[in-house]
Amino acid sequence: MGQRLIKCTTFPSFLILQIGHTVSLAVTAKSAPLKGRLSVEEINSGTVLLLRSIQQVNLAKDYGSLSQGKPYPQKSKLVSLRPILGSDGLLHVGGRLQNANLDYDTRHPILLPKDHPVTKAIIVYYREKYWHGGSQALLAALRQRYWSIGGRKFVASVINKFVRCFRMKPVTWEHVMGSLPAKRVQPNPAFLTTGVDYCGPFYHKAEARNKTAHKCYTAVFVCFS
């Protein structure tokens, strides 16, 4: 079963279902295989158990300090995120959105370790769910619930490995600039060739009271020599 789970880390939904089955069997104390669909509670429990085990291994120092109520290590790479330990036993981003009118997962996304297979699987899942959007759109959707450490570079690296998306990526055309006129590149007296830019009107009001504003125009003369 262990090898089966390791091979399926690219499919987080399958992992969650397997852990959900385990949770259901443990709760109901049944020895027979579970038949039928899992409930939402069992799937959520499987998700929490999977992510908690990942955080306890890959973010061991930070998780240990917060779970034991010790002062947070100031030399940690996560200090800027102000992580907190949620009621679900998971590390969340603390941040500054406690008072925002948003969902709890949006205010405090779940922390995911960098370069982990499950983190990559979640990115791939969101990539397919949102129809292969760009890296910025994918990162914004991902951070509604998860916060991948070093997420910007990791998301870009995952997207670049999609062969189909790489082939379908449009190439922007660059405009070919024309040659400069001879009067612009040859030595001439100042303002022999002059360009004029005209804009307006602007309204200027005098400091004295009861005086109407006057229209003003601007002419900019540029030496092209």
Q: Which helix (H) or strand (E) holds 16?
A: helix 12-28
How many other CB atoms sit within 10 Å of the CB of residue 1?
7
Average pLDDT of the chain to the nearest whole number: 80
Determine the pLDDT at residue 5.
38
Tell me if 157 sits within 8 A of 166, measured CB to CB.
no
Mind listing the pLDDT tens digit for each residue in 203-222? 888 777 778 888 899 999 99
Q: Which helix (H) or strand (E) holds 201?
A: strand 194-204
Q: List, in order, residues 6 or more apart from 180 with CB less than 8 Å away.
A: none
> Residues 150, 153, 159, 161: is their CA dihedral positive or negative?
negative
The C-alpha atoms of residue 19 and residue 1 are separated, in whole angstroms, by 11
The DSSP annotation for 59-111 comes to THHHHHHHHTTPPPPTTSTTGGG--EE-TTS-EE--TT-TTSSS-HHHHSPEE
The domains of the chain are located at: 2-168, 182-223
Q: List, in order, residues 6 or more apart from 215 with CB less than 8 Å away.
A: 200, 201, 202, 203, 204
Q: Which helix (H) or strand (E) holds 152?
A: helix 151-160
Pairing of strands 91-92, 84-85: antiparallel
Mind listing the pLDDT tens digit for each residue in 183-195? 888 888 888 888 8
User: Residue 31: pLDDT above 50?
Assistant: no
Mind listing the pLDDT tens digit for each residue in 32-47? 555 567 777 877 888 8
pLDDT band at 174 (very low <50, low <70, confident <90, very high): confident
- pTM of the predicted protein model: 0.63
Determine the pLDDT at residue 14.
52
Determine the pLDDT at residue 160.
82
User: Residue 11: pLDDT above 50?
Assistant: no
Mind listing the pLDDT tens digit for each residue in 123-141? 888 888 887 778 888 899 9
Greater model confidence, 10 or 133: 133
Mind listing the pLDDT tens digit for each residue in 67-113? 888 877 778 888 888 899 999 999 999 888 888 888 998 999 999 99
